[in-house]
C-alpha cells in the first residue's frame, strides 16, 4: 500500500521529469540572487533556538491555517524570538507556495528555510533563485548519489542545508556527505504519526560539532525544555504555532531554554 511519502515523492519526481527549464539558466539565476542569511549562525546562539514554520495544511490532518497571512505571521514569529523561519512551498499536499516564502523573507531579517521535497538539481537552484537561505534534504527521499550531489551544490551556492533523518542508518548517511546541520524528524513520513521519543533516542549519536534540530512533536514549553536539556540546539515547530490562539505567547514559551551537554558516542 502506498504511503504518504510514496505519494508525495511520485508527484514531485513526475513534476521534475516534466520540468523543461534550462538548468544552466536556473544556476545563473541562483548565483545572482541576493546573498543568503546564515541559518547555521542563527542556530548557534545561546539557548534553544526555534525555527518557526509557516504551514497552511497537512496531508494527514487537512487544513491547519489556510487563510494565514505570511507577512503578519512571519513578523509575529520574528518579534516573538524565532531564530529562523521555515516555509512550506509544496502546494498540492501542504497548500504552500514560493509566494509565501518571498513575502515572509521580505518582511523579516531572519533566515528562511525552504521546506519541501527536493528531488532534483532544479529544485536546489530554484530555491536559491527564489530567495531561500536554506533548504531541506530528506534522507529517506533520496539515494546516496542524489543526497551527496544536492548537498554539495547547495553548499556551493551559499545555502545552508538541513538534512533530515529518522533513524541511525539515515544519520550515518547524512554524516557521510559532511552534513553539519541535521534534523531528527519525529514524524514518520510514511504514516505521519509522531514518535516523541525518537529525538531522545538518537541524540547520543550526534557528533558534538553538528547542529542538532528536533522536528515535529513539540507542543509545549516542557517539550522544548526537555529537548534542550538533552542537547538539541534547535526545534522546528509548525502545527503547534499556526493553530495557536496566541502565537506570540506560545512561541516565547519555547524560546531560550538552556541547551544541555550532548552525550555523544563520538567524542
Cite the active site residues: 53, 55, 115, 164, 185, 215-216
Cell numbers standing for residue 109 = 531579517
Write the CA distances from 65 to 59, 62, 224, integer angstroms: 13, 10, 23
85 contacts 57 by C-beta, under 8 angstroms:
no
Torsion of Cα atoms, 164 then 167 then 169 then 172, to 10°: 50
Nearest to 204 by CA among 179, 237, 150, 168: 168
Amino acid at each position: 500500500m502506498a504511503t504518504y511519502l510514496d505519494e508525495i515523492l511520485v508527484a514531485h519526481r513526475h513534476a521534475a521529469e516534466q520540468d523543461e527549464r534550462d538548468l544552466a539558466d536556473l544556476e545563473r539565476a541562483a548565483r545572482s540572487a541576493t546573498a543568503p542569511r546564515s541559518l547555521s549562525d542563527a542556530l548557534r546562539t545561546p539557548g534553544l533556538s526555534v525555527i518557526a514554520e509557516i504551514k497552511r495544511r497537512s496531508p494527514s490532518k487537512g487544513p491547519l491555517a489556510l487563510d494565514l497571512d505570511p507577512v503578519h505571521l512571519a513578523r509575529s514569529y520574528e518579534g516573538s524570538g524565532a531564530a529562523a523561519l521555515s516555509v512550506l512551498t509544496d502546494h498540492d499536499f501542504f497548500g504552500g507556495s514560493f509566494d509565501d516564502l518571498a513575502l515572509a523573507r521580505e518582511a523579516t531579517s531572519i533566515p528562511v528555510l525552504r521546506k519541501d521535497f527536493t528531488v532534483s538539481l532544479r529544485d536546489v537552484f530554484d530555491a536559491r533563485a527564489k530567495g531561500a537561505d536554506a533548504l531541506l534534504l530528506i534522507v529517506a527521499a533520496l539515494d546516496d548519489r542524489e543526497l551527496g550531489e544536492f548537498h554539495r551544490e547547495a553548499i556551493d551556492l551559499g545555502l545552508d542545508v538541513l538534512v533530515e533523518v529518522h533513524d541511525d542508518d539515515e544519520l550515518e548517511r547524512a554524516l557521510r556527505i559532511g552534513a553539519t546541520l541535521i534534523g531528527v524528524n519525529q514524524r514518520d513520513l510514511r504514516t505521519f504519526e509522531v514518535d516523541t521519543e525518537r529525538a531522545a533516542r538518537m541524540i547520543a549519536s550526534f557528533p558534538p560539532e553538528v547542529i542538532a534540530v528536533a522536528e515535529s512533536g513539540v507542543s509545549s514549553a516542557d517539550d522544548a525544555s526537555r529537548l534542550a536539556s538533552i542537547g538539541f540546539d534547535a526545534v522546528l515547530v509548525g502545527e503547534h504555532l499556526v493553530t495557536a490562539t496566541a502565537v506570540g505567547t506560545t512561541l516565547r514559551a519555547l524560546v531560550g531554554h538552556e541547551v544541555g551537554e550532548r552525550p555523544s558516542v563520538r567524542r
